[in-house]
Chain A
Amino acid sequence: MAEIRLQGITKIFDKKVRAVDEVDLTIADQEFMVLLGPSGCGKTTLMRMIAGLEYPEYGRVSIGNRDVTDLPPRRRDISMVFQSYAVFPHLTVFDNVAFGLRMKNVTKAEIKRRVEGAAELVQLGPYLERYPAQLSGGQRQRVAVARAIVMEPAVLLMDEPLSNLDALLRLNFRAELKRLVGELKTTTIYVTHDQVEAMSLGDRIAVMREGRIVQCGTPMEIYDRPATQFVGSFIGSPPMNFLRGRIERSNGHVQVGLGDQTLTAPSTLAGRSAGEVLVGIRAENIEAEAAPAAGAIAARTEVVEPLGSHLLVTAAVGDQRLKIQARTDFPAQPDAPLWLRPEPDKLRWFDPESGQELDAR
């Protein structure tokens, strides 16, 4: 049982940089939690505080109902994959992976069995006798992963463990890792700034920005209902489209005006005094039509990018730009007009100043 509970965790560097700012997060036993966010948002720092390598200025960390805030890393039953690999250069791959087991006085035969098992898993079997200097970056990274999983810890912390693998290896390794972590029954925290990786691996994703968690939820929740404009534009490729509009009322209906056209808006928006609002919609939730249709918004095609499975069309509505996913047989031509029909229940509404989602339900 290793539920991780973070309460009001804050890390301040040099008396002013709030690298992690009052983070509250509970990670259930055996859950796979992904920390996702842009570079410098405090992911590594948060992870290091869970590992015990950094001491928080405020807040408590508990693992499995035990307050570990004041315990050194070796007493926390964690293991960590470092962003920089931190593979020991003076030890062979075998000795690197065996390092932690030897510290725990595991028997020789058991060490051999487990190290070879872990090496097999990360496809390092033939390299066990090599020194890290004789390995590629990706291989070293796999040594780091093997060294952590071989410990079978209660909590597995991984800081961008796949960042140096090539695309194919990464894809295979990702699936392998998911299966493996499920078998190990550890609670896992996984740092990445690759949103595809986050979506595919995480039971839940915590999106961070400037030291805070802006949203935490299942991948689908985060993708479908981003809590802020930042989350919407950080997750998904292409990012969510955002259009600025005016709230208008006409004979009892609430509408949002985009230039000289209008979108039907949920009546809950009526509560807002007339003003601007941000409409969010994902590229795949917009239907493109080549001919005018009732209720569709007129736009002009700007760029057409064929991506194999679909076309990515950049269109302009008035002076605002948005991206649309269209079928490959859609007759898109630069500068040609097209008509857009967004799925009404996929529209999201945001406050243009704060970027927060407006409760439109």
Chain B
Amino acid sequence: MTSIARDLPAAPRADREAVAARQARARRRLLGRGLLYAAAVLLALWVLFPIYLITITAFSPRDAVYDYPKQLIPGTFSAETMRFFVDAEGVLGALWNSVLVAVVTLIFSTLIGAPAGYALARFAFRGRDAFRLIVLSTRAFPIVILSIPLAVSFIEWGIYDTVWSVALMHTALALPFTVLITSSIFISVPRDLEEAALTLGCTPATAFVKVVLPLALPGLAAASIFTFVLSWNEVFAAVILTLRERTLPALVLAALNQSPVPFRLAAGWFMLAPSLIFIFVIRRYLLGLWGRVSR
């Protein structure tokens, strides 16, 4: 026992140096981790703080809006401002319209865009690269120029000032991204897996449903968040293509200039909440799948 204890300090120098180096490495790693977390917290605050401010002000009594300095911890809870906003003319209708438009846009752009993305990912057809470019270049066409003739066409077809006209427009806006994003999602599903399914008795269609789709689902879910938010926030086309059947952003934009600050904050919260809920629902699903499949 004693001899061991005596030997310890006399450990060879190389050993001690190795230990020191290991400790230094561990310290550096810890520091790196710390920085990473700090950055993550900072980024999260950057996004969450405004959301927090909007939320507490939207649920405070009306005059609390003008308080200075701002109360970071909500004082009295009050649904007064919120109720005022919700009761205002057309808000609930517009909310419903917005949800409808976003969902219809989501369905349309996925139904049209995903097959195009799949074709881009899997088939080497003549003019594939040109197609990719053209798809993207549609975004270069100004909506301003497009909107007036579109409005005229929609009037002719009898769908002007309906959810459908806005949804169609949003689908057109979302499609380039849907096509390109889904194509990269499908590329990331190895071709081998599909071929293995083909050798195990699948038709191309069943191989798609049984193998490609489940594996692409997390990516498709992420893409759908993008489309949903794009449609939810889009205001320009919505303003031009609707008069009475406003979507929420169109309504808020039209009403905002003449409204008091509390109303604006309530509107902001109201715009925010549904898309946050949508993202959270999809996200859980997305992580669940990714956690299992990837490694």
Taking Cβ atoms with an 8 Å cutoff, the residues of A that contact B are 51-53, 72-74, 78-80, 82, 84, 86-90, 99-100, 103-104, 131, 133, 147, 151
Please, how many angstroms separate the alpha-carbon atoms of A88 and B192 in the complex? 10
Chain A: CB-nearest residue to B295: A133
- Indicate whether B293 reaches chain A with its CB closer than 8 angstroms: yes
Do A99 and B200 form a contact, CB below 8 Å, given A86-B190, A89-B293, A133-B293? yes
- Min C-beta distance of B88 to chain A, whole Å: 47
Complex contact B292–A131 (CB within 8 A): yes
- Indicate whether B223 reaches chain A with its CB closer than 8 angstroms: no
Chain B: CB-nearest residue to A103: B201
Please, how many angstroms separate the alpha-carbon atoms of A151 and B202 in the complex? 13
The residues of A that contact B295 with a CB separation of less than 8 Å are 133
Give the contacting residue for A74; candidates B190, B198, B293; CB below 8 A. B198
Chain A: CB-nearest residue to B198: A73
Please, how many angstroms separate the alpha-carbon atoms of A84 and B192 in the complex? 8
Complex contact B190–A79 (CB within 8 A): no
Complex contact B198–A53 (CB within 8 A): yes
Q: Mark interface residues in B176-205 (1 if CB within 8 Å of A CB, else 0).
A: 000000000000001011011111111100
Complex contact B202–A86 (CB within 8 A): no
Complex contact A86–B192 (CB within 8 A): yes
Chain B: CB-nearest residue to A54: B195
Complex contact B215–A74 (CB within 8 A): no
Nearest 8 CB-CB pairings of A with B = A103-B201, A100-B200, A86-B192, A86-B196, A133-B295, A73-B199, A73-B198, A90-B214
Please, how many angstroms separate the alpha-carbon atoms of A53 and B193 in the complex? 12
The residues of B that contact A103 with a CB separation of less than 8 Å are 200-202, 206
Complex contact B193–A80 (CB within 8 A): no
Complex contact B196–A82 (CB within 8 A): yes
Complex contact A74–B203 (CB within 8 A): yes
A-B contact pairs, 30 of them (CB 8 A): A52-B198, A52-B199, A53-B199, A73-B195, A73-B199, A79-B199, A80-B199, A82-B196, A84-B190, A86-B190, A86-B192, A86-B196, A87-B196, A88-B196, A88-B211, A89-B193, A89-B215, A89-B294, A90-B211, A90-B215, A90-B289, A90-B292, A100-B201, A103-B200, A103-B201, A103-B202, A131-B292, A133-B292, A133-B294, A151-B200
Complex contact A51–B199 (CB within 8 A): yes
- Min C-beta distance of A70 to chain B, whole Å: 15
The residues of A that contact B195 with a CB separation of less than 8 Å are 53, 73, 82, 86
- Min C-beta distance of A133 to chain B, whole Å: 4
The residues of B that contact A53 with a CB separation of less than 8 Å are 195, 198-199
- Min C-beta distance of A43 to chain B, whole Å: 16
- Min C-beta distance of A53 to chain B, whole Å: 5
- Min C-beta distance of B114 to chain A, whole Å: 18
The residues of A that contact B200 with a CB separation of less than 8 Å are 74, 79, 99-100, 103, 147, 151
Do A99 and B197 form a contact, CB below 8 Å, given A84-B190, A90-B292? yes
The residues of A that contact B214 with a CB separation of less than 8 Å are 90
Chain A: CB-nearest residue to B193: A86
Please, how many angstroms separate the alpha-carbon atoms of A72 and B197 in the complex? 12
Please, how many angstroms separate the alpha-carbon atoms of A248 and B99 in the complex? 95
Chain B: CB-nearest residue to A131: B292
Please, how many angstroms separate the alpha-carbon atoms of A51 and B196 in the complex? 10
With A79-B199, A99-B197, A133-B293 known, 18 other A-B pairs at CB within 8 A are A52-B199, A74-B198, A74-B200, A78-B199, A80-B196, A82-B192, A82-B196, A86-B190, A86-B195, A86-B196, A88-B211, A90-B289, A90-B292, A103-B200, A103-B201, A133-B292, A147-B196, A151-B200
- Min C-beta distance of A11 to chain B, whole Å: 15
The residues of A that contact B289 with a CB separation of less than 8 Å are 90
Chain A: CB-nearest residue to B196: A86
The residues of B that contact A73 with a CB separation of less than 8 Å are 195, 198-199
Please, how many angstroms separate the alpha-carbon atoms of A51 and B197 in the complex? 12
Task: Give residues of chain B (277-295) contacting chain A, Cβ–Cβ below 8 Å.
Answer: 289, 292-295
Chain B: CB-nearest residue to A133: B295
Complex contact B196–A104 (CB within 8 A): no
Please, how many angstroms separate the alpha-carbon atoms of A99 and B206 in the complex? 12
Please, how many angstroms separate the alpha-carbon atoms of A80 and B293 in the complex? 23
Please, how many angstroms separate the alpha-carbon atoms of A213 and B214 in the complex? 41
The residues of B that contact A87 with a CB separation of less than 8 Å are 196
Please, how many angstroms separate the alpha-carbon atoms of A53 and B190 in the complex? 14
The residues of A that contact B292 with a CB separation of less than 8 Å are 90, 131, 133
The residues of B that contact A52 with a CB separation of less than 8 Å are 198-199
The residues of A that contact B190 with a CB separation of less than 8 Å are 84, 86
Chain A: CB-nearest residue to B214: A90
Please, how many angstroms separate the alpha-carbon atoms of A151 and B203 in the complex? 17
Complex contact A74–B202 (CB within 8 A): yes
Please, how many angstroms separate the alpha-carbon atoms of A87 and B293 in the complex? 11
Q: Which of B196, B203, B206 has the most CB of A within 10 A?
A: B196
- Min C-beta distance of B285 to chain A, whole Å: 14
The residues of B that contact A72 with a CB separation of less than 8 Å are 198, 203
- Min C-beta distance of B191 to chain A, whole Å: 9
Please, how many angstroms separate the alpha-carbon atoms of A147 and B295 in the complex? 22
Please, how many angstroms separate the alpha-carbon atoms of A131 and B192 in the complex? 18
Please, how many angstroms separate the alpha-carbon atoms of A73 and B202 in the complex? 9
Please, how many angstroms separate the alpha-carbon atoms of A72 and B202 in the complex? 10
Chain B: CB-nearest residue to A134: B295
Chain A: CB-nearest residue to B194: A86
The residues of B that contact A80 with a CB separation of less than 8 Å are 196, 199
The residues of A that contact B203 with a CB separation of less than 8 Å are 72, 74
- Min C-beta distance of A203 to chain B, whole Å: 23
The residues of A that contact B210 with a CB separation of less than 8 Å are 99
Please, how many angstroms separate the alpha-carbon atoms of A100 and B199 in the complex? 8
- Min C-beta distance of B126 to chain A, whole Å: 13
Please, how many angstroms separate the alpha-carbon atoms of A51 and B293 in the complex? 27
- Min C-beta distance of B128 to chain A, whole Å: 14
- Min C-beta distance of A106 to chain B, whole Å: 11
Please, how many angstroms separate the alpha-carbon atoms of A90 and B295 in the complex? 12
Please, how many angstroms separate the alpha-carbon atoms of A80 and B201 in the complex? 11
